[in-house]
């Protein structure tokens, strides 16, 4: 079995970290205060097993009818695990687009299940066949925006794909806050559309581990039966509740990061990179020299970490996360110095 290898995590220090799509900005003061307040409270007691305060706040912020539409988890990776555990048995199949988030395949492998990939076309669209599921396909994952491309399918395209599926479609919206569109309203209309979210990206809380599922209440109720008893701790429930209640903070940080992303796209294109237009907090780019691995290594030697990705039968390139403007200036200086000798 191929294990999933998360992006490199170096000790904090001088490194400019643009490799795992975190938020370069710290979380809001309200979040830090909520953690401090919870830490001064009853840590000798177990947390609420179903994170009710968070689910209530999430329902309010997302315009959902109530907390029974939300399942909280230890990062959205845990939610993805619960979904695979709940829907895909041994000898059944998981479907995913290619290239996309590699973890999906690992989760199927762990489950003793099979997986099949359906390739995006050259414009990062999916064939209608993606929505046609034979009996043995029990779950379909669709990251939207997709990683590594940062491209999105519109809600109506997602709805049309789901309409021909005989199994649940999980729209992984880890990066949806940067895209300005999402599929939450589709969950209200269709029981086979499920949405996962994370607080690791737009909310700046990757170190906290908090994610959640939005699905119709009967789906949430069944999946809650297979989660670990206390999968979210008291500090992270408090922090996540404060974070999801801070929608103005979110809008401001997203606006700032999207502006930097657009500058990255312009700057990298001027340097000769082919940059895929992104709706996420990262960009996917390739260079006509094909020297992606060498560029990654040169940047790393100079304390800038980006993600070099290689997809068999498809190709390779660099995925670069949005940083602060100063970090991106430093990246550009280093890239220009590399490209002078190409």
In the region spanning residues 284 to 323, those forming contacts with ligand PMP, defined by CB under 6 A, are none
Report, in Å, the least distance between residue 172 CB and ligand PMP: 5
Kindly state the helix (H) or strand (E) to which residue 169 belongs, with its residue range. strand 169-172
Which stretch, 33-41, 42-50, 69-77, 236-244, contacts ligand PMP (CB under 6 A)? 69-77
In the complex, the smallest distance separating the C-beta of residue 184 from ligand PMP, rounded to whole angstroms, is 16
CA dihedral over 173, 72, 74, 57, signed as positive or negative: positive
Q: Which two tokens stand for residue 247?
A: 């929608």
> Could you tell me which stretch among 70-78, 246-254, 264-272, 301-309 binds ligand PMP (CB under 6 A)?
70-78
283 bridge partner residues: 320
Nearer to ligand PMP, 287 or 307 (CB): 307
Q: What share of the chain is helix, strand, coil (3-state, %, to 5)?
A: 40, 20, 45
Helix (H, G, I), strand (E, B) or coil at 171: strand
Asked if 152 and 144 count as a contact pair (C-beta separation under 8 A), the reply is yes
Burial class (CB in 10 A: 0-12, 13-18, 19+), 60: middle
**Of residues 73-102, those binding ligand PMP (CB under 6 A):** 75-77, 101
Closer CB to ligand PMP, 161 or 176, in the complex: 176
Q: Which two tokens stand for residue 78?
A: 């845990």
212 vs 273, beta carbon nearer ligand PMP: 212
Binding of residue 177 to ligand PMP (CB under 6 A): no
To the nearest whole angstrom, how small is the minimum distance from the Cβ of residue 6 to ligand PMP? 7
Question: Tokens representing 196?
Answer: 């996962």
* Shortest separation between residue 228's beta carbon and ligand PMP, angstroms: 15
> What end-to-end distance do the CA atoms of the chain give, in Å?
38
Near ligand PMP by CB under 6 A: residue from 19, 28, 147, 202: 147
Give me the least distance between CB of 143 and ligand PMP, in Å please: 4
Among residue numbers 117 through 146, which ones bind ligand PMP (CB under 6 A)? 143
Cite the DSSP H helix spans in the chain.
Answer: 29-39, 52-62, 76-87, 103-110, 155-163, 184-189, 217-224, 234-245, 247-270, 292-301, 325-339
The single residue among 62, 206, 268, 331 that binds ligand PMP, judged by CB under 6 A, is 206
274-275 β-sheet, strand order: 274-275, 282-286, 315-321, 307-311
* Pick 204 or 211: Cβ nearer ligand PMP: 211
To ligand PMP, the closest distance from the beta carbon of 174 in angstroms equals 4
Segment 154 to 173, residues that bind ligand PMP, using CB under 6 A: 172
**Which SS3 state, helix, strand or coil, does residue 256 take?**
helix
DSSP 8-class letter at 328: H
Question: Which of residues 47, 67, 86, 211 is near ligand PMP by CB under 6 A?
Answer: 211
145 touches 124 (CB < 8 A): no
| Chain contacts with ligand PMP (rule: CB under 6 A) | 75-77, 101, 143, 147, 172, 174, 198, 200, 206, 211
């Amino acid at each position: 079995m191929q294990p999933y290898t998360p992006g490199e995590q170096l000790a904090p220090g001088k490194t400019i970290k643009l490799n795992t799509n975190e938020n370069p900005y710290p979380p809001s003061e309200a979040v830090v205060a909520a953690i401090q307040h919870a830490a001064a409270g009853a840590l000798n007691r177990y947390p609420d097993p179903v994170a009710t305060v968070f689910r209530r706040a999430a329902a309010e912020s997302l315009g959902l009818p109530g907390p029974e539409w939300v399942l909280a988890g230890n990062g959205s990776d845990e939610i993805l695990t619960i979904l695979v555990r709940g829907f895909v048995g041994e000898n059944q199949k998981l479907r995913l687009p290619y290239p996309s988030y590699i973890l999906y395949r690992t989760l199927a492998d762990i489950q003793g299940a099979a997986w099949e990939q359906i390739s995006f076309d050259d414009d990062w669209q999916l064939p209608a066949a993606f929505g046609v599921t034979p009996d043995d396909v029990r779950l379909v994952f669709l990251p939207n925006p997709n990683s590594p491309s940062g491209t999105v399918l519109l809600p109506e395209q997602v709805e049309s794909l789901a309409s021909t599926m005989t199994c649940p479609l999980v729209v992984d919206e880890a990066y949806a806050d940067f895209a300005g569109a999402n599929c939450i309203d589709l969950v209200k209309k269709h029981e086979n559309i499920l949405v996962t979210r994370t607080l690791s990206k737009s909310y700046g809380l990757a170190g906290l581990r908090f994610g959640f599922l939005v699905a119709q209440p009967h789906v949430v109720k069944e999946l809650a039966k297979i989660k670990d008893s206390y999968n979210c701790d008291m500090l992270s429930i408090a922090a996540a509740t404060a974070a999801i209640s801070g929608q103005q903070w979110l809008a401001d940080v997203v606006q700032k990061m999207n502006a930097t992303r657009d500058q990255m796209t312009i700057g990298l294109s001027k340097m000769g990179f082919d940059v895929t237009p992104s709706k996420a907090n990262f960009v996917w780019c390739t260079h006509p020299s094909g020297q992606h691995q060498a560029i990654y290594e040169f940047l790393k030697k100079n304390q800038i970490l980006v993600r070099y990705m290689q997809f068999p039968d498809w190709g390779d390139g660099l995925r670069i996360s949005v940083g602060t403007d100063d970090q991106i200036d430093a990246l550009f200086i280093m890239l220009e110095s590399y490209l002078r000798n190409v």
